[in-house]
Amino acid sequence: MKKFKLSTLGLLAALSSITVVPTVWASGNHTHSPIDTNMKVDHPIEAEESAFGRQGMTKEVTRTIDISMSDMMRFTPDSLNVKLGETVRLRIKNNGKIPHEFVLGTKAEISEHAELMKQNPEMEHADANSARVAPGKTGEVIWQFTKPGKFLYACLIPGHWDAGMQGSVTVTGTQTASAVVPVVVADQSMKSMTADDKYTSGEIKKVDAAQGKLTIKHGDIKNLGMPGMTMIFKTKDPAMLNGVKAGDAVQFVVERKDGALIITELKKAP
Ligand SMILES: [Cu+2]
């Protein structure tokens, strides 16, 4: 009887130590605590779940797929099949003499972005689902396909998609344990942070002092009618780059000038 009691206590202790894990997770603790490591939650917080999957981790890559792009406005191959939950490295070679871009997404998102690119031909994407590749160079996108369905990849440089530069990805399979990933809810704070229609809120991802360019993950750019994404912007005055660094929360004004997107005002978020 005494033995039974002890083992019951032991079991209870074991159970309570297990239940600590989901409790901490539910509280929204995304920091790299030892518990996160035990749970193998090693995705960077930037890896937000989208309608077509999420940025993958290099160490989880199980397959590399080579895709080439040509000035004939074609991807080779132009159709891929992947398993649900699979993390693949898409290695994208530009065999042409002009730049091309690889953007992965749903059909609706690709169409929307193609329209934006027509209005802003100088738009440079820097999101995890895209790669702009110079002639003769190779870029890569590491992606985990966590949603079943049919998705597109396209070159959204004006004229290229219209000429048929696209391919499709078919994701099939049933949800396996490895495909069940914790849903990291997209950070909505950037949208609510927007002070007014003039300023756009964002986080600096990269400072390119040599080019006078900033890579910014930003919320909706209301004055230009553009949705939130990560883009590379030119600045009106290279001196604006002084005093800002990757990781800084900023507010900025962006204007369209001769097809280019230029930051005319930049300040640290209050
Ligand atoms: Cu192209």
pLDDT in tens, 219-249: 888 887 777 888 888 888 888 888 889 998 9
Most confident stretch, 8-22, 34-48, 90-104, 171-185 = 90-104
CA of 168 to the centre of ligand 1 (A): 16
Q: Where does a domain end: 151, 179, 207?
A: 179
> Is pLDDT above 70 for 265?
yes
- Say if residue 145 is exposed, middle or buried (CB neighbours under 10 Å; 0-12, 13-18, 19+): buried
Sign of CA dihedral 210, 224, 226, 98: negative
pLDDT in tens, 160-209: 999 999 999 999 998 654 544 544 445 544 544 445 678 888 999 888 88
Q: Where does a domain end: 158, 179, 200?
A: 179
CA of 76 to the centre of ligand 1 (A): 13
Q: Which pLDDT belongs to residue 93?
A: 98
CA of 99 to the centre of ligand 1 (A): 6
Do 234 and 258 belong to one domain?
A: yes
Do 72 and 171 belong to one domain?
A: yes
Q: Which pLDDT belongs to residue 8?
A: 43
Ordered alpha helix ranges (H), 120-195: 189-193
The number of distinct structural domains making up the chain is 2
Do 61 and 167 belong to one domain?
A: yes
Residue 7 lies in a domain: no
pLDDT grade, residue 36 (50/70/90)?
very low
Query: Which residues lie at CB < 5 A from ion ligand 1?
Result: 100, 155, 157, 160
Q: Which pLDDT belongs to residue 39?
A: 39
pLDDT in tens, 131-156: 999 999 999 999 999 999 999 999 99
Do 95 and 193 belong to one domain?
A: no
CA of 25 to the centre of ligand 1 (A): 42
What percentage of the chain has pLDDT greater than the value 90? 41
CA of 165 to the centre of ligand 1 (A): 7
How many degrees, rounded to 5, is the angle at CA 217 between CA 262 and CA 131? 85
CA of 153 to the centre of ligand 1 (A): 11
Q: How far apart are CA 159 and CA 148, in angstroms?
A: 30
Do 210 and 169 belong to one domain?
A: no
Q: Where does a domain end: 179, 200, 219?
A: 179
CA of 188 to the centre of ligand 1 (A): 32
Residues 6+ apart with CB under 8 A from 152: 104, 105, 106, 107, 110, 166, 167, 168, 169
pLDDT in tens, 17-29: 433 333 333 333 3
Residue-range definition of the domain harbouring residue 174: 54-179
Residue 207 lies in a domain: yes
Residue 170 lies in a domain: yes
